[in-house]
């Protein structure tokens, strides 16, 4: 008769710890579920913003394309060669603007999904800097000046050239966009014993101090830039590309005075064994 109660006590005793251990397990599952739910909400929010940004940023260039195409179609026999090419140039520029928006959105998606390949190779940073400024000269406003300065060692760097090109191009493009006519935009590259540095400096509208902590957030646009076309994706992508190459990005800005962006990458042995040819 005593065997049954004793056996029951033993079973209850043995089964009690797992029941107690279930509490942390359930709490962990709950926390993981809440994390996944928060992530899903963030993804949904970002998708909504992407759709909103795309529709907003596409509306203006599409209107420009439609207007220019209509002018050519209906007044072709009355337009001289120069005016026809003027409208064709507007169409090309509008297509390029929409392509840039799509590229930013696709780049962000690839970064978030880990699909951006890192392809390091040796290249001449000074030559790349001059090449980028030459390509962007046609985008400058009236009397704007693009200047380049190179300091430090004469050697090739070992980074992803495509990612660096994207970062510099984005920063120069922003400097042109947010700087006044006759403004000076300077690109500086510097190679020291320990670091590879890239600096872009402008004398544009600057970033309001209270909004500076949000500058690299996805879709963020400063209050003083709302009337200037942009998606709020560029700097977020720049930061992620720089970090993908083990670098860091910093900036200083004063409203109505200008902004300076600095990209810095640590040098390794691969940077030191390839002199510029």
- Asked whether residue 276 is domain-assigned, the answer is no
Which one has a higher pLDDT value, 84 or 12? 84
Statement: the pTM of the whole predicted model exceeds 0.85: no
Do 109 and 126 fall into the same domain?
no
Rounded to the nearest 10 degrees, what angle do helices 3-75 and 81-112 cross at?
170
**CATH code: domain of residue 222:** 3.30.565.10
The enclosing H or E element of 122 equals strand 120-123
Do 189 and 73 fall into the same domain?
no
- Asked whether residue 240 is domain-assigned, the answer is yes
Strand partners, 196: 191, 265
Would you state the pLDDT for residue 14?
46
Per-residue pLDDT for 17 more than 70? no
Q: Domain end: 64, 81, 115, which one?
A: 115
**C-alpha 35: how far from chain center:** 26
- Asked whether residue 125 is domain-assigned, the answer is yes
52-72 mean pLDDT: 78
Do 16 and 95 fall into the same domain?
yes
Phi, psi torsion values for 271, nearest 5 degrees = -80, -15
- Asked whether residue 241 is domain-assigned, the answer is yes
Do 217 and 83 fall into the same domain?
no
**CATH code: domain of residue 52:** 1.10.287.130
Q: Domain end: 60, 88, 115, which one?
A: 115
Do 253 and 208 fall into the same domain?
yes
- Asked whether residue 263 is domain-assigned, the answer is yes
- Asked whether residue 237 is domain-assigned, the answer is yes
Residue-wise pLDDT for 124-170, tens only, equals 999 999 999 999 998 899 999 999 999 887 789 999 999 999 999 99
What Rg, from alpha-carbon coordinates, does the chain have?
27
Asked if 141 and 181 count as a contact pair (C-beta separation under 8 A), the reply is: yes
Tokens of 162: 């495509």
Counted domains in the chain: 2
Do 11 and 86 fall into the same domain?
yes
Phi, psi torsion values for 255, nearest 5 degrees = -60, 135
For every residue of 195-248, DSSP letters joined together read EEEEEEEE-SS---GGGGGGTTSTT---GGGTTS---S-HHHHHHHHHHHTT-E
**Rounded CA separation 118/113 (Å):** 14
Do 6 and 59 fall into the same domain?
yes
CA distances from 127 to 65, 130, 148, 161 (A): 35, 5, 11, 11
Do 194 and 149 fall into the same domain?
yes
Do 126 and 92 fall into the same domain?
no
Q: Which of 167, 172, 123 is nearest to 147 (CA)?
A: 172
Which one has a higher pLDDT value, 228 or 243? 243
Q: How crowded is residue 57: how many other Cβ atoms within 10 Å of its Cβ?
A: 21
Q: Which of 185, 199, 173, 177 is nearest to 145 (CA)?
A: 185
Do 178 and 218 fall into the same domain?
yes
Domain housing 43: 1-115
For every residue of 128-176, DSSP letters joined together read HHHHHHHHHGGG--TT-EEEEEEEE--B-EEEEHHHHHHHHHHHHHHHH
Question: What is the length of the chain?
Answer: 277
Would you state the pLDDT for residue 23?
55
Q: What is the greatest pairwise CA distance in the chain? A: 113
Would you state the pLDDT for residue 100?
76
Do 144 and 233 fall into the same domain?
yes
The enclosing H or E element of 8 equals helix 3-75
Tokens of 250: 């910093």
**Rounded CA separation 253/208 (Å):** 8
- Asked whether residue 260 is domain-assigned, the answer is yes
Q: Domain end: 115, 142, 174, which one?
A: 115
- Asked whether residue 277 is domain-assigned, the answer is no
Do 127 and 248 fall into the same domain?
yes
């Amino acid at each position: 008769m005593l065997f049954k109660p004793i056996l029951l006590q033993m079973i209850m005793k043995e089964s009690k710890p797992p029941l107690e251990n279930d509490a942390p397990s359930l709490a962990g599952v709950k926390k993981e579920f809440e994390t996944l739910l928060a992530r899903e909400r963030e993804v949904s929010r970002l998708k909504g913003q992407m759709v909103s940004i795309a529709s907003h940023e596409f509306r203006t260039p599409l209107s420009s394309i439609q207007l220019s195409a209509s002018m050519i179609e209906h007044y072709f026999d009355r337009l001289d060669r120069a005016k026809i090419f003027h409208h064709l140039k507007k169409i090309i520029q509008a297509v390029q603007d929409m392509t840039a928006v799509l590229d930013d959105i696709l780049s962000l998606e690839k970064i978030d999904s880990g699909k951006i390949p890192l392809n390091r190779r040796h290249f001449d940073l000074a030559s790349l800097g001059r090449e980028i400024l030459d390509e962007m000269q046609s985008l400058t406003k009236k009397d704007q000046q693009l200047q380049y300065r190179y300091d430090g060692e004469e050697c090739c760097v070992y980074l992803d050239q495509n990612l660096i090109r994207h970062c510099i191009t984005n920063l120069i493009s922003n400097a042109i966009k947010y700087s006044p006519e006759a403004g000076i935009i300077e690109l500086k590259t510097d190679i020291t014993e320990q670091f590879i540095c890239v600096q872009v400096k402008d004398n544009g509208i600057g970033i309001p101090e209270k909004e500076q902590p949000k500058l690299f957030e996805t879709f963020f646009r400063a209050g003083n830039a709302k009337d200037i076309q942009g998606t709020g994706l560029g700097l977020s992508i720049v930061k992620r590309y720089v970090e993908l190459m083990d670098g860091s990005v910093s900036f200083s800005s004063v409203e109505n005075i200008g902004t300076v962006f600095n990209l810095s990458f640590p040098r390794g042995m691969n940077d030191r064994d390839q002199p510029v040819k």
